[in-house]
Structure 1
Amino acid sequence: MITVERSFVVGLPLDELVAYLEDFSRTEEWDPGTVRCVRLDEGPVRPGARWRNTSRFRGRTTELEYRLVEREPSRLVFVGENKTVTATDDLSFEAASPSVTRLDYRASLRFKGLARLAGPFLRSEFERLGDEVAERLPTAATQHRT
């Protein structure tokens, strides 16, 4: 399993940042690997909501179906799956001030079958993607507000 963790601050109040990130289709705005992300169901975003995420990694395109498995006032957990990997995005929020939120972002990938053999060789690339998320997400979230 590969786990990438980043902590950073975003210039939004906690509730606004959670509202922005609970719609997983917005990964197109801040995740460098996401090419497209589309909601598969309708209604309010709540546990059980689903998205189809198309990502590009090392020149290959793959699709995962994500679902929101946990939604609390200061935590979101999404799990995506296909035949080769289970991906978990765990986001925890803490108000640093009334207008700034600290985000602890953890992305974990558990490879299946033969793909498990490639996992250790991919860690550095996932670390680089984690750096890009930490750079892009704060800007995307604050720009979305305006």
Structure 2
Amino acid sequence: MVSVERTVLVDRPAGEVLRYLADFGNTTQWDPGTESCARLDDGPVAEGACWLNVSRFRGRRAELSYRLERYGPDRLVFVGRGRSVRATDDITVRASDGRTVLVYRARLRFNGPARLAAPFLRAEFERLADAVALRLPVVLAGP
């Protein structure tokens, strides 16, 4: 398993940040590895909503089906499943002195032969998490 965590400060109210991040389709704007992310169902964004996320990692295309497992007042949990990986994105937000502290945690559990590669992929996932931590405040500071 590979786990990464980043904490970023955002100049937006916590409620707005949470609502924006709850729509996983927005990952195309803040996750540099995401090529597309399309909603698979209809209705309001709520627990149970699903997306198909297509990412590029180390030159390979990966498709994961994500489900919003938890939508709380200060926390979101998305679980993605693909052929060789199960990903959990756990996001918390809290107000602090007029800003928002956002904590982003990603855990990837590899299946089958891909498990053997996990230790070698850690550095690449750390770089990707750094890129997300740089991009999120920029995107969230927009209009």
TM-score normalized with structure 2 length: 0.98
Distance, in Å, in 2 between the alignment partners of 1:67 and 1:6 is 22
Could you give the per-residue CA deviations for residues 31-85 of structure 1, whole angstroms, max 9, x where no partner exists? Answer: 0110000001111111100000000000011100000000001000000001200
Distance, in Å, in 2 between the alignment partners of 1:112 and 1:121 is 15
* 2:50 aligned with 1:61: no
Using the TM superposition, give the Cα deviation of residue 86 of structure 1 relative to its aligned residue in structure 2, in angstroms: 0.2
Using the TM superposition, give the Cα deviation of residue 8 of structure 1 relative to its aligned residue in structure 2, in angstroms: 1.0
Aligned to 2:119: 120
TM-score normalized with structure 1 length: 0.96
* Structure 1 outlier segments of 4+, above 2 Å: none
Distance, in Å, in 1 between the alignment partners of 2:85 and 2:65 is 11
Distance, in Å, in 1 between the alignment partners of 2:65 and 2:94 is 28
- Provide the aligned length of Structure 1 versus Structure 2: 143
Q: Which runs of 5+ in 2 are unaligned?
A: none
1:1-146 counterparts in 2 under 5 A?
Answer: 1-98=1-98, 100-143=99-142, 146=143
Could you give the per-residue CA deviations for residues 104-127 of structure 1, whole angstroms, max 9, x where no partner exists? Answer: 110000000000000000000000
Q: Give the superposed CA RMSD.
A: 0.6
Could you give the per-residue CA deviations for residues 18-42 of structure 1, whole angstroms, max 9, x where no partner exists? Answer: 0110000000000011000000111
Distance, in Å, in 2 between the alignment partners of 1:140 and 1:48 is 25
